[in-house]
């Protein structure tokens, strides 16, 4: 019974499983691709999609470039090397702060708003030929979205050795790129003019305040002097005082002569003679006149000496106020001259060009970067996973 069982039943049982294994076995290409499936999904497929987008759909972008530098007339404004020295330009001091401030302005929301007032910035980046990924989305995009998109298309770089700023503008039409670059240069020049105006106002502000104060002081001194003349009813106290001094001296001289005559007459003429009496009366009259003149000059209240002293004090104040005013006028002119020397202006080293060939997007570079970045990430992940498995085993 065992001899009849084995040959009949065993072959049938052994052949059935072999047939099912052959029917369920995968094709050879699947077995070859199985180990590479993670690499294909993680690296090759994203790279292929990136290449398909940039090769078939991405719109060409044109770049217009311009170079400029901020220059000042002030001596010792900082040197440059290379191309700047060849052009005879000097970079501004304080670590190119003015150039950096203009560069910062050109990529700010203020520049976007000013640019939008002169050209339709939204329409430039929503041309019909622009692909869906590269275009600016929205009929009325918010300012934040426009600024974010704008900063991807507009770049400003500054050479640390030359101080020359390079402005690059990308657009989807050559004329759009050139027009935007030219307008941005104009906006930069307008910003520099604003800096100059503020600096001029700040520099001249102190000098103008000093001039106004000097004018007010001179006006007060002149008004006080005029009031003094009106109160004393004396237009020129100095001249009148000099005249009074001369009159007093003349009277004193006449008195001395009369006394001398009277003294010489006393020896030969009787005391009661008419001639001596008349001469004595003349001496007495001259003495009274001299006394009155001296009293007017220095003796009584309101005498010429007091008035002349007060007048001289007021006149000295007026002269000091006039000198202070003259110094303030000179100081204002000097401040204006120095401020003009410190004025900044934009020198266009390279004018915006009209591009002919599209430089962006850099398709091959982008696809290669995506591939190598994903391959590196995949390799790092594979090494980490292999280490984990080895440690677990």
Long-range Cβ contacts of 289-298 (<8 Å, 24+ apart): 289/251, 289/255, 290/248, 290/251, 290/252, 290/255, 293/244, 293/247, 293/248, 293/251, 294/248, 296/244, 297/241, 297/244, 297/245, 297/248
Average pLDDT, the chain: 79
pLDDT at 145: 94
CA atoms within 13 A on the CB side of 386: 6
Please give the class, per CATH, of domain 207-341.
mainly alpha
- The confidence band for 237, taking pLDDT boundaries of 50, 70 and 90, is low
Backbone angles phi, psi at 80, to 5 degrees: -130, 170
Number of residues written out for the chain: 393
Q: What is the average per-residue pLDDT within 94-109? A: 84
The closest alpha carbon to 73, from 349, 293, 340, belongs to 340
Residue pair 161/151 in contact (Cβ under 8 Å)? The answer is: no
CA distance 294 to 303: 9
Nearest to 146 by CA among 130, 123, 129: 123
- pLDDT tens digits for range 310-344: 667 777 888 888 888 888 888 888 888 887 777 88
Question: 60-204+345-356 has which fold?
Answer: Bacterial polysaccharide co-polymerase-like (3.30.1890)
Q: Annotate 285-320 with b (16+ C-beta within 10 A) or e (fewer).
A: ebeebbeebbebbeeeeebbeebbeebeebbebbee
| pLDDT tens, residue by residue, 138-152 | 888 999 999 999 999
- The CA distance from 258 to 285, in Å, is 10
Closest to 245 (Cα-Cα) out of 298, 288, 284, 282: 298
Distance between CA atoms of residues 257 and 184, nearest Å: 97
Nearest Cα to 254, choosing from 287, 299, 205, 300? 287
- Quote the tokens at residue 153: 């298309």
The better pLDDT of the pair 264, 194 is held by 194
Domain range list for the chain: 60-204+345-356, 207-341, 358-388
The sheet with strand 154-158 has its strands ordered as 154-158, 165-171, 62-72, 344-350
Please report the pLDDT score of residue 293 as a whole number: 67
Counting beta carbons within 10 angstroms of the beta carbon of residue 376, is it exposed (0 to 12), middle (13 to 18) or buried (19 or more)? exposed
With cut-offs at 50, 70 and 90, classify the pLDDT of residue 75. Answer: low
């Amino acid at each position: 019974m065992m001899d009849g069982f084995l040959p009949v039943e065993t072959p049938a049982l052994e052949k059935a499983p072999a047939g099912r294994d052959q029917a369920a076995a995968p094709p050879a290409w699947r077995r070859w691709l199985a180990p590479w499936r993670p690499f294909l999904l993680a690296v090759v497929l994203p790279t292929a999609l990136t290449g398909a987008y940039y090769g078939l759909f991405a719109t060409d972008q044109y770049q217009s470039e311009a170079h400029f530098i901020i220059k000042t007339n002030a001596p010792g404004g900082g040197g440059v090397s290379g191309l700047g020295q060849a052009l005879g330009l000097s970079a501004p001091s304080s670590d190119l702060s003015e150039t950096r401030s203009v560069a910062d302005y050109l990529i700010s929301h203020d520049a976007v708003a000013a640019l939008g007032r002169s050209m339709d910035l939204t329409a430039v980046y929503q041309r019909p030929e622009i692909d869906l990924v590269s275009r600016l989305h929205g009929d009325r995009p918010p300012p934040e979205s426009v600024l974010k998109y704008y900063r991807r298309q507009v770049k400003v770089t500054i050479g640390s050795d030359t101080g020359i700023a390079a402005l690059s503008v990308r657009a989807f039409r050559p004329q759009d790129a050139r027009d935007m670059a030219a307008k941005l240069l104009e906006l930069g020049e307008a910003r520099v003019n604003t800096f100059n105006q503020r600096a001029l106002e700040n520099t001249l502000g102190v000098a103008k305040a000093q001039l106004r104060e000097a004018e007010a002081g001179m006006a007060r001194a002149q008004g006080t002097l005029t009031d003094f003349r009106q109160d004393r009813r004396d237009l020129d106290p100095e001249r009148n005082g000099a005249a009074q001094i001369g009159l007093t001296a003349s009277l004193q001289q006449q008195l001395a002569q009369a006394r001398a005559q009277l003294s010489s007459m006393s020896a030969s003429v009787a005391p009661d003679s008419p001639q001596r009496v008349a001469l004595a009366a003349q001496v007495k009259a001259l003495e009274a006149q001299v006394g009155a003149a001296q009293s007017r000059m220095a003796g009584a209240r309101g005498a010429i000496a007091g008035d002349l002293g007060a007048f001289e004090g007021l006149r000295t104040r007026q002269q000091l106020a006039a000198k202070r005013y003259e110094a303030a006028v000179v100081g204002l002119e000097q401040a204006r001259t120095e401020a003009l020397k410190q004025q900044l202006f934009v020198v266009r080293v390279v004018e915006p060009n009209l591009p002919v060939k599209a430089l962006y997007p850099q398709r091959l570079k982008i696809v290669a970067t995506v591939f190598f970045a994903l391959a590196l990430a995949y390799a790092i992940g594979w090494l980490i996973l292999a280490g984990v498995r080895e440690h677990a085993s």
